Chains A and B, each alone.
Chain A
Amino acid sequence: MENFKREEIARGVHFSAIRDERFKTSRIAVAMLTDIDKEKAPALSTLSGVLAHSCEEYPTFLELSRKLDSLYGTTLTGSSGKRGENQIVILSASGINDSYSLDGESVYEEMAKLLCSVLFKPNVKDGAFSEEDFLQEQRQSLDAIDGLFNDKRAWAKKRLFEEMCGNEKYGINVLGTKEQVKALTAKKLYEQYKELLKTARLEIICLCANDTENVKKIFTEQFSSVERAVDLGATEIVTKADKVREVKDTLDVNQSKLMLGFRTGCAEPDDGAEAVKLMTAVLGGTAHSKLFNNVREKQSLCYYCASGFDPLKGIMTVESGVEKKNIEKTKNAVLKEIEDMKNGIISDEEIENTKRSLTNSYMTSVDSSAGTLSWYLSQILKGRDRTPREQADVISKITKEEIVEAAKKLSLDTVYVLTSNGETETEEEE
């Protein structure tokens, strides 16, 4: 990867610089990874919000927001999510390049300082985050947990993973429960924060047109006083489902959601995961895929029917929104397409079309600053250094036999259905 430099600046802390002059903005992200833990996860999720807002120099939400807006709408965001069976907390900043400022001031340096400021000098009193900051983010977390239920497609996905991976760390929802979030305190959160800085794997990535030495120096200095020890576990891969679990929830909905979860038996860094990626995309990753053509276009069963693959965990999902009476019919239609793939019913054209489509999405992803940063972060975390072109080349070499092999390894683990309470006249159709 050209214009890319990564170096260790403290134990388990790496600083990467990406020089790119195409964008009108600069972006810095600090990614912190830990093992996912049911007890600690909600604290880290709430912490991701506190980190983006708690600042000794600008102690209130209003003051910090004012500072950011006067820096031409610079953004400072904290997020938390799952990456395999790790929890990842990302604190990131983005702002316009200095050459676009109206009065010639340096936005980039101020932005980098602010990011360091919230990360290393949050608003702390007596060994705890300020009560105001804490309560504010605790409330945001509680609302976010409730908000999950508002989006039924996302809700169905969450429910699938809870059921399918109930005995694996992957089944942990990082937002946690409302009881867990209510039990948090400003002090507990501060202790989590201290522990995070000491034990998380840290990747700092700086994407900009400027020199990054200064920013690197600030981070190096800050970490020189932190005693670090990183211990990051691997993701557990369940290779095969023993039996199919069927789970149904009922709610007052107009459209039923069907979610299928499959074990693929293969996950990164295993090279076989590339064939699973391509197999998943041939099945339902494009507007010319098997599911799109046969379940949507030919049978008019749904508006969306798509497959997705998490290469870190080795799970493939298929999701669709359908009429209640068509749930079984749609499930069978999806399973038929998978059977076809197992039997080698895949045309060369389908394979070539999907390879082109994946190539296009890899190449396009780095035409945005957020996309570029996330491409590099994902490569770093995978321990790889592929460019989008190199990744496309890996995909292009996959053969039909490898796709069929990948399909043969699929085992259906869980069928999740979210549907309405009412009677349905033709449920037994088909």
Chain B
Amino acid sequence: MNIRTVESKLVKDKYHIIDHPSGLTIYVYPKEGYKSTYAIFGTNFGSVNTRFTVDGGDEITVPDGIAHYLEHKLFESEDGDAFARYALTGANANAYTSFEKTCYLFSCTEKFEESLEILLDFVQSPYFTAETVAKEQGIIGQEIKMYDDSPSWRVMFNTLVGMYQKHPVRIDIAGTVESIAEITAEKLYDCYNSFYNLHNMVLCVAGNTTVEQVLKVADKMLKPCEAHNVESLFEDEPYEVGQTIIEQKFPVSIPMFHLGFKEDVSSGSISSEEAAYTDIALFALASQSSPLYNKLLDEKLINTSFDFERMEGPHYAAVLFGGESREPKKAAEIIKEYIAKAKENGIPKDDFERAKRAVYGNIISDFNSNENIANVLADMHFEGRELFAYVDAAANATLENINERLSKMLDVDNCTLSVVYGEEE
């Protein structure tokens, strides 16, 4: 078994990567003095993986929202549900589905080994029947409706709908009430057998634990499996956004907006270094200490809810700016103008220095949390990046790195403005 240790002088921590004989990659990040342990077991299967082939076989198409549905149903097994088993260890368990992955997690302060055993066991033991599948329709139906009433969720999703013409990232993670009605036990098994393969999964554990402890449970519980070649299929997505503006009327008292920049993904996903440079560039452009933020604030076009984020997955990448605004269109114009100018003239040196220090400081703070650490390790594993390399890149970034990175992103002629607005606006 191959165990590598990665150490960081800056973070003053280390973690271990284990290539387990079962085919699973395991990350263990011990945190001295912590009482709790957080574990996350995830598969590289999310809402966008709705068309795929296995070992070159026939194309399989599954209903929208099936990854999320599977997440709900995996908690159930023939002899009860996983929550009931966790109840005996005291662990606090949960799961989530994103565009590109599904993760099952728990955090505990006692009986860690028993809790890890439960996690590894139920995720490897699917049990879907017509009855159990039918029962979930009402529950997930209400989850979908809850999100339908959330203006912050809608404004974000509408941005993706506007930006992407073909890519399934434009479809809600939970699907629709109609699409989930088509989900059957057979289809869940099709997905499970294709994507829930240890070679396509990752286990990350952070906190009060050791490699020995994790391996003790992993050796006992992991069922070695053969690697399959699962290929997700995506239609060709044009470079251009589908719609430059997308609006929805909503019961809100203050409009919300997102300005989404569709990023070029023709050269694949970005490296650890590029990720760090992107984060510094975005911070320099739009954080509270940026001239842009202060201009928007002074002109009463945003309030302190204004924020930005970048997102990336298979064949898509985007940067979103947004928040509440009384005049979303005016705010969006100023953001675009400012970005165009920054790309032309480069980011000022002082803005860069500050952004670099702030981004570095924020990253260091994130290492306080077991939850953050385990989740970021899982993200980076699927994205093919390394956590400490990302920290080093942020700490050692130069203004040239940042401006070079900026020149390749944020095309102001390729963005979508999404607005949700109330009755009176």
Compute how far the CA of A133 lies from the CA of B251 in the bound complex, rounded to whole angstroms. 31
* B360 proximity list for chain A (CB < 8 A): 72-73, 102
The verdict on B358 contacting chain A, using a C-beta distance below 8 Å, is: yes
Contacts between the two chains (Cβ within 8 Å), count: 195
The residue in A252, A300, A321 that gathers the most chain B C-beta atoms within 10 A of its C-beta is A300
The residue in A143, A252, A286, A364 that gathers the most chain B C-beta atoms within 10 A of its C-beta is A364
Q: Are A364 and B289 in contact (CB under 8 A)?
A: no
A304-322 residues with Cβ-Cβ distance < 8 A to B are 304, 321-322
* A304 proximity list for chain B (CB < 8 A): 146
* B413 proximity list for chain A (CB < 8 A): none
CB of B11, distance to nearest CB on chain A (Å) = 8
Q: Are A65 and B252 in contact (CB under 8 A)?
A: no
Chain A, interface size: which category?
A: 35 or more
The verdict on B254 contacting chain A, using a C-beta distance below 8 Å, is: yes
The verdict on A95 contacting chain B, using a C-beta distance below 8 Å, is: yes
The verdict on A267 contacting chain B, using a C-beta distance below 8 Å, is: no
Compute how far the CA of A94 lies from the CA of B358 in the bound complex, rounded to whole angstroms. 12
CB of A152, distance to nearest CB on chain B (Å) = 5
Compute how far the CA of A349 lies from the CA of B252 in the bound complex, rounded to whole angstroms. 44
Residues of B with Cβ closer than 8 Å to A? 10-12, 31-36, 81, 83-84, 86-94, 107-110, 135-143, 145-146, 148-152, 207, 251-254, 256, 287-289, 291, 293-294, 297, 300, 303-305, 324, 353-355, 357-362, 364-365, 367-370, 395
CB of A179, distance to nearest CB on chain B (Å) = 15
Q: Are B370 and A367 in contact (CB under 8 A)?
A: yes
Compute how far the CA of A363 lies from the CA of B41 in the bound complex, rounded to whole angstroms. 23
CB of B60, distance to nearest CB on chain A (Å) = 28
Given A73-B359, A287-B83, A297-B81: A61 touches B252 (CB 8 Å cut-off): no
The verdict on A139 contacting chain B, using a C-beta distance below 8 Å, is: yes
The verdict on A106 contacting chain B, using a C-beta distance below 8 Å, is: no
Residue of chain B at shortest CB distance from A94: B365
Given A72-B364, A359-B90: A143 touches B110 (CB 8 Å cut-off): no
Pick the interface stretch among A21-29, A225-233, A408-416: A21-29
Partner of B300, one of A107, A139, A255, A297: A139
The verdict on A379 contacting chain B, using a C-beta distance below 8 Å, is: no
Given A61-B288, A139-B303, A360-B110: A147 touches B254 (CB 8 Å cut-off): yes
* A321 proximity list for chain B (CB < 8 A): 142, 145-146
CB of B95, distance to nearest CB on chain A (Å) = 10
Q: Are A72 and B304 in contact (CB under 8 A)?
A: no
Q: Are A73 and B365 in contact (CB under 8 A)?
A: yes
Given A69-B287, A288-B86: A253 touches B251 (CB 8 Å cut-off): yes
Given A73-B365, A253-B149: A303 touches B143 (CB 8 Å cut-off): yes
Compute how far the CA of A300 lies from the CA of B143 in the bound complex, rounded to whole angstroms. 11
* A301 proximity list for chain B (CB < 8 A): 138, 142
Q: Are B364 and A24 in contact (CB under 8 A)?
A: yes
* B357 proximity list for chain A (CB < 8 A): 69-73, 102
CB of B74, distance to nearest CB on chain A (Å) = 14
Interface pairs (30), CB distance under 8 Å: A25-B365, A65-B289, A70-B357, A73-B365, A95-B361, A96-B365, A100-B361, A102-B357, A102-B360, A143-B305, A146-B324, A152-B251, A153-B146, A251-B251, A255-B149, A286-B83, A286-B87, A287-B83, A287-B86, A303-B142, A304-B146, A323-B141, A323-B142, A356-B87, A359-B110, A360-B91, A360-B92, A360-B107, A363-B110, A364-B92
The verdict on A353 contacting chain B, using a C-beta distance below 8 Å, is: yes
* B361 proximity list for chain A (CB < 8 A): 71-74, 95-96, 100, 107
CB of B331, distance to nearest CB on chain A (Å) = 13
Residue of chain B at shortest CB distance from A358: B90
Q: Are A143 and B254 in contact (CB under 8 A)?
A: yes
Q: Are B368 and A369 in contact (CB under 8 A)?
A: yes
* B354 proximity list for chain A (CB < 8 A): 66, 69-70
* A302 proximity list for chain B (CB < 8 A): 139, 142
* A323 proximity list for chain B (CB < 8 A): 141-142, 145
Q: Are B358 and A69 in contact (CB under 8 A)?
A: yes
Residue of chain A at shortest CB distance from B366: A24
Q: Are A96 and B364 in contact (CB under 8 A)?
A: yes
CB of A18, distance to nearest CB on chain B (Å) = 14
* A364 proximity list for chain B (CB < 8 A): 35-36, 92, 107-109
Compute how far the CA of A252 lies from the CA of B365 in the bound complex, rounded to whole angstroms. 41
Given contacts A61-B294, A96-B365, A149-B252, 10 further A-B contacts (CB under 8 A): A24-B367, A65-B293, A72-B360, A73-B357, A143-B324, A153-B146, A253-B149, A288-B86, A360-B108, A364-B92
Compute how far the CA of A7 lies from the CA of B365 in the bound complex, rounded to whole angstroms. 29
CB of B49, distance to nearest CB on chain A (Å) = 23
* B141 proximity list for chain A (CB < 8 A): 323
Partner of A73, one of B87, B207, B358: B358
Residue of chain A at shortest CB distance from B369: A368
Q: Are B359 and A140 in contact (CB under 8 A)?
A: no
Residue of chain B at shortest CB distance from A66: B289
Compute how far the CA of A71 lies from the CA of B361 in the bound complex, rounded to whole angstroms. 8
Compute how far the CA of A297 lies from the CA of B73 in the bound complex, rounded to whole angstroms. 11
The verdict on A332 contacting chain B, using a C-beta distance below 8 Å, is: no
Compute how far the CA of A250 lies from the CA of B377 in the bound complex, rounded to whole angstroms. 45
Partner of A136, one of B91, B137, B297, B324: B297
